[in-house]
Structures are given as structure tokens and as C-alpha cells.
Chain A
Amino acid sequence: MTELGVGSGTFAPQEEQDEGATAAERLLRAVEALDASADAQLPEYLVAHDTFEAIWRDEVSFLFAPAGGGKSAFRARLAQACRAGEGGRRVFPIVYMLPESVVLAGESERLDAHLREIRRAAASELFLHLAHRPYEFLDLDDAAKQTVRRLLEQSLPQPLDHLLEQLGPYGGLNPEARLRALAEPYDPGAVWLNPPSEESLAKFRTAVAETPLSKPAEAPRDSLEPWLNLLLSTLHFEAVYLLVDGVDAYPETISNPGYALALIKPLLDQAGRWRERRLFVKAFLPIETKSAIQQAYPLLTSRKNTVIIRWTRSLLAELLRRRVAAATGTEPASLDMISEPGFRGVDLRVVNAVEPLPREVLAFTSRMLHEMQQRTGGTGRLSREDFEAALRWYRRDRHRERS
């Protein structure tokens, strides 16, 4: 990649300016979605490492943040750490977005609804995990293979045969793209390193399809025990993390955060017992629920188990710089590198202009890049004019919300 003159005080000639515009376009595409949890580049730019370290350990964790404050980003980051085996660890993540069926269930049915949906999410994760790591399935003995197949058959949201078919070639998509399409409904940002070859994926398909169904085990269907046995004993994961998110995604919980506690109470009631079985609840919750949860669960929510995300301007500027670096492949990076010579300190200008939340920073940046595209047809550099236009948009946008 061509050096764009960041920090060197020089500015690129025409060819490099073109490359700068390309970097801007790449960045615009990257920040367009505004949804960090669906962003495969997340680990490259999510800062606040102490927050991550606090939840990346075998303990029940509560992470509280305001809307737009990065709850889902940290949830996605944790899931990616598990999938990538960061630190040489082998942790099985279950991405558990509070499902509609739990919201619709009566109080007495809520725990069963949770368990059913957790098994469903676990099955999706396991299917995707094994499809990415076929040898883990192929190396199992017959009894273990049968157990895997039975649990998948019982809990996957789709028929297993249907999913196996989708692993096969279609539409000119390579194995990675087909697996990404399979993962999207479960966890849109999910990334597994080193996707399998066409050949090993085909072997996995055949092996699963040829595995006979075993008789159901004796454990009650409404428990997680068969799953924990499989994951911890048979597949040798050292722990299972249940990543609870999406609690504030319903009309009921948006208007009444207290109701959110009622919905996840059955999970929190089990959290102590599950911890003994190395299943650790990791709850990513709106800040509005914090006091109610701390009051109801004082032991679970001890100081070391609770993280509150607090964004400072300098942290946000760092996040923005890393976002630029991840999108453009340039290190170190800054919005300055795609800005006009007379317009400097853009990262700080952006974070000082908006509410101190990652989503707001990215929304403002996206708008500013769009203004530049409109003004220059996409070949120019960010200018003060683009910043001012984005600022007008932002102020009006915020004003509308609060008026």
C-alpha cells in the first residue's frame, strides 16, 4: 500500500491521492453499517482492552452500557476471541440474543423457553464450528459422532439435512462464503479463521450424513446437561460462555428496563449453578438495568464481575483511528490521511462534535465521508466543508430526536 503521508508532513501526488480516495471509499463502506456486532474487522479496532480482559475469563460477567455504547461490539469481540482460540484457550461461545419466544412466554414457561433457545443457539454454533473444523468431527469415535448428530437434529432451527445441503457448492460461492451465509441468521459478524477447503467440507458433509442417529440419552430434554457433557467432556472445550445480548430489543423492554430483568431472571437464577459446570453467563445489558440487577443479584454482580463501559474522548479517537486502519490497511492511521492538507486533527474534531459513544462517532464519520463523496464525486479528500456539513446534519438529527 502506498504511504499516504500521515505524520510525514508531505502529501501524496495524484496517484496517491487516488489511493487516498479509495481508502475513503473503503472506510465509507466499512462504517456504513454502523453495526459493530456484524463487523468482521471488530477485533482490529475495538479499544478499551481492560474491558475486554475483564470479561475474557471464566467467571459470570455483567457488562453495562448505554444504547450505542458498544455492548454488542464487546459481545461480538468476545465471541470472536472464543472462535479464534485467543490466548490458546478453547472456549465455546453461545451467542444468545434474547429471543421473541421468551418475551412472549408466560412467567412460568420462561425458563423452558430460555433453555430451548439456548440449545438452539448452541446447536447453530456447534454446527458452524464443526463445519469450519471438520477434523474435530471426523476424529470423534462413532458414539460421540452419534451424540453430536442427535443433539444437532434435536436443536437446530433447520433440519440438519437441509443445512448439510447448503454446505455443498451453489451459486459459485466458495466454502467461506457459503459458511458465512449459513452463519448470518445466527450471528452476522461471526468469523472463523482458516475456513475449510472444499474437500474437507465435503468430507464433513458426508460423515455427518452417514452417522446414524443414536437413541436419546436419559437426561431430560429440558436441561443443558447433554450439551455440557458433549462440549466439555467429548469435545474438550475448557468452558462455555453464554453471551446474553439483545435484551433491549423489544417494545416492552425499551419502555420498561425493569421488565428486562424479569425476562432474564430465570437465566440469572441458574448462573451460580451453571458456573459450577463451567458454563459462564456473560450478560451485555443496558445501563438502565444495572441497579435493579445489582440489587437482585448482589453476589453475582460483585465489583470484579461487573464492567461499565465509559467512553472518553481520547478512547473514542483511538477507536476511530483503529477503525480507519482496519478499513484501509494502513498503520498508523487517522482521518487526516484522507483529508485536505489544511484540514488536520480530524479524529479529535469528530469525537468532540458528537455524543461520546462509538456509534455516534461512526455515524458522524460516515456522514462526513458521504458529504465528501457528494462534493467531489468520490475522488477527493475530506475538507472542513464536509465536516461542517456533517455537523449541521448531526445537530439537526439530534435536535429532531429531542424536540
Chain B
Amino acid sequence: MSRGKAPTETKTREPLGIAAFGSLRAEDEPWLAQCYVKPPDFALMTCWRSILVFGDEGAGKTALGLALERAWAPPGQPPKALVVRWPFAIVEDESLKGTRLVVAYRDQVLDAVARAVVDYVLRFPPDWGQLPPWVGRTLAWFLQRFLRGDLKDHLESLWGKFGEQSPGWLRNALAGPVPDVVSPSAPPSEVAGEIIKALKALGLEGIRVIVDNLEAWHEADPTLLTDHLESFLNALTEFWHPRFVYAFMAPSELDSKDWSAGSVSRRRVDVYRLEWRAMDLEAMMERRLALAFGEESFPLSKLGPAERLMNWLSRCGGQSPRGWLRMLAPFVVRFLNKAAETGQMTPLTEEECIAIQSESAPRLSIDPMTDAVFVGWRKVSDIQPADLELLKYLYQRRGELCPRWAVLREYLSITGQLFRADDPKSERLLDQPIYRLKQAIEPDPDHPVFIKTVRGRGYRLDNAW
């Protein structure tokens, strides 16, 4: 569990309180680096290889992208590589296919690289006097050729930002005439090679492009995104340079695509699934708790009964960091309130936790297309077919009291059994399937939040969408 230890710091931090569980959007959490837990393959992901990372919503793709960025460009230090955020946008020109389509995407990439070069030069102004002239000339040529939009606009924006302090080299690079450094008809690999040579002269190892906005495009048109992404990935060879690599953060739905041709099967691109083990998720929660309470470490047992909390989190949060954080947040709120009332940080009791579970139950849903059952962020996979049919029956009547006889009649119909009024066992035929369903879906079968038994009358499915 060495990965689970909180980062060691000598001084006590300012507690973030519930804000540590507030936004749940990595890009809005400036403290993320202090509590980030790396996925098992993180070291492999930081190699000079292009990667395609699939992850569910809330699996931490954005957080991973930020962690990779920190690895390549540590805050407060000169970066090891030029880190480029590519704001991927679907090319909507339907006339572009195959390589022409790839060229259109490459223009987007090169524009993003050019912007990153501008940003780098502003943040880490090179000592041009110490560099051979070809370096500045190459960078200026690159900006003029690949920065999209009106160069005058870029110049004005620089003036607006920096005024007289605007770096002279950059102004000249954007305004002055620059000879071609690579012939306009030369292969794109020559372009990549030329800019990387110049970046190496500045002390950078190469270019790392991060793409982390595919989810929105996937929601808009999954087929189009898949086709275009495949074309782009398959053509990586043409624009290939050992020091020009990509990190794509992609929704897990794309993982179902057949990638048996092209760059993925040729291992030009390494594929990872962003999946978390319970021990990693536990470590994440404990680091967040430490931030929330301003302590160096904060094991779950300081919040409440650790076994109950872990059980609750794994049965409602699935493998999703966001799910775990959401499901833990109500306990943190109660803990803070209790501490404010008593003036002491004492762990929540079993009874208090059970009450919170009841008040903050996750939602149960069934996908009408696939019959997949979800409890919070967890996909339930261990329901027997007949039990699933019974659950669907209750789900169709969610929130309603279903008389016991009607539920029993439905179950007998599902299983092809006959009701025998003279057999007392018939009355008890529902006990086992209801028990199994509770075991499968309830976060705590002893204190059910979904299948409620109304004594002497029947069953009601609560907290279902």
C-alpha cells in the first residue's frame, strides 16, 4: 500500500474543507497535484510513445492529462518537453476524406504547437544571443507558416497583454519576413523534424500533444469522431518523429471499436484503459480527506468505520474516482458538522453512517437497451436472469407499492412455476430472489435503500431512476 500514503509535507496545510470534494472537475482543482494517485501504468504513459487512454466519464482522464503535463512540464521549472494542448475540433468538411482529412487535422495540431511555442517563448525567454541564428529563424518560420488566423491579431493580442514589454523577438517573428526553412512541398516529417531540432536547441526534448476534449465530440457524433480519429491515428507514421508524440484521452465507448487495423495494431499507439483498483481509489479518498482537514494523512478510519465506508464506496462508486468522491462527500459534510458542534474531530459512528447512507442513497437505473443495471457508478454484473426480470418488473413500477401476490405471480411467470395454494412453500418462493437481488444491488443488504419490504403488503423499489 505504499502508493496509498499521502504525500509527506512538513507543515500542516490550510484545510480545504468540503471544497476538496466540491467541484469534482480536475481542471477546477488547483490542489489536484497534492492528492493525485497515479494509475498503475503511469510510468509507461510518460515514455516517448503515443498513447490512447480510454476511460469512463469520471474515471479521471482530465486529471491524468494534467498529471502527464506536470510530469513533462513540472510547475515552476523549465519544461522537459513542449507540452501542447490540442483543442481538437471535428473537421466538418464532408468532402475531406482519407489523407486530405488527416492534413486538415494536422493543421490543427501545428496551430496548437505554434501557440505553445509562443507561450513557451513568453514564459521562458531564450537567450537569443547564445543560440545560433537558425534556431530563431526556424521558430519564426514555424509561427508564420502554421499559426492560423491573422498574424496581426496575434500581434495585437501580444501588445494587449504585454504592451511595451512584449518580447521583441516574438514581434519580429510574427511581423517580419522570414525565409522558408522547409520547402512548402516537403514531407510533413521534415516539418516535425525541423521544429524539434530548434526546440532541442532550446533545451526541450520534443513535443507532447495532449488531447482531452473528445468526450464532447463523442456525444455530438460518435461515428464521425471514431472515423476521424481512426484516420488520424492511422496516418501517424507520415507525421512521425520519435520526439513528437500524442496522448489522447478518449471516452471508453470508443474502446468497443475494432482497432485491428492501423496504428493501434501496429503499436504506433499504445492503448490503456483507465481502470482503478480499490486500493488506488482508497488512497485517492484518503489524500482528499487529508486536504479537506489540513492534515498530512487522514485514513478512512478517522472519518468513520473504515470497513463500512469502503464497502459503501466500492458498491456505489464502482471504479470511478468521481463516483467515490461523490459518495464520500455526505460523510465529510456530516463529519464537519459534527466537529463544529462538538469541537472535536471524532469518527462517525455506525448508526450515523447508516443514516447518511439512507439519506444519500445512490440511484439505481437500468439501461433499456442493454438491461445493464447501475447502482450509482457501479455496473452490477452478478444478477441471475430470472432475478433481473423480477428487478425490471419492480423498476417499471418504481416508487409504487407492488403487492406481494402480484410480485409473486410475476416471478412464477418468469420462472415457469405454478402456484400451489396448498403448499406453504409457494408463499416463500419470493424470499430467495429478493434476498439475491438485495445482495447484488444494495450497498448494505442489511439496511436496504432500494428494495423496501412493506410488511404484510409487498415491495417498493426506491431511489430508482
Contacts and interface: CB of A to CB of B under 8 A. Distances in A.
Given A116-B185, A370-B43, A403-B256, A251 B242 contact: no
Contacts, number: 140
Contact of A397 (B98, B192, B258, B271): B271
Contacts of A359: 266-267
A159 B181 contact: yes
Interface string B409-444: 000000000000000000000000000000000000
A246 B189 CA distance: 13
B342 to A, nearest CB: 44
Given A101-B187, A374-B40, A401-B259, A181 B200 contact: yes
A100 B235 CA distance: 10
Contacts of A68: 265-267
A149 to B, nearest CB: 17
A166 interface: yes
Interface residues of A, number: 50
A397 B188 CA distance: 31
A33 B49 contact: yes
B264 A401 contact: yes
B187 A117 contact: yes
Interface in B241-299: 241-243, 255-256, 258-262, 264-267, 271
User: Chain A interface secondary structure, helix, strand, loop or mixed?
Assistant: helix
A7 to B, nearest CB: 31
Which residue, of A156, A185, A400, has the highest number of chain B Cβ atoms within 10 A? A185
A185 B189 CA distance: 6
B190 interface: yes
B212 to A, nearest CB: 21
Given A158-B190, A170-B135, A184-B193, A249 B237 contact: yes
B192 A185 contact: yes
A158 B180 CA distance: 8
A254 B262 contact: yes
B451 to A, nearest CB: 34
Contacts of B135: 170
Contacts of B183: 156-158
B43 A181 contact: no
Contact of A400 (B100, B197, B235, B255): B255
Contacts of B137: 162
Given A34-B267, A401-B259, A251 B99 contact: yes
Contacts of B266: 67-68, 359
Interface string A298-340: 0000000000000000000000000000000000000000000
Interface of B: 40-41, 43-44, 47-49, 97-103, 131-135, 137-138, 179-183, 185-190, 192-194, 196-197, 200-201, 203, 230-231, 234-235, 237-238, 241-243, 255-256, 258-262, 264-267, 271
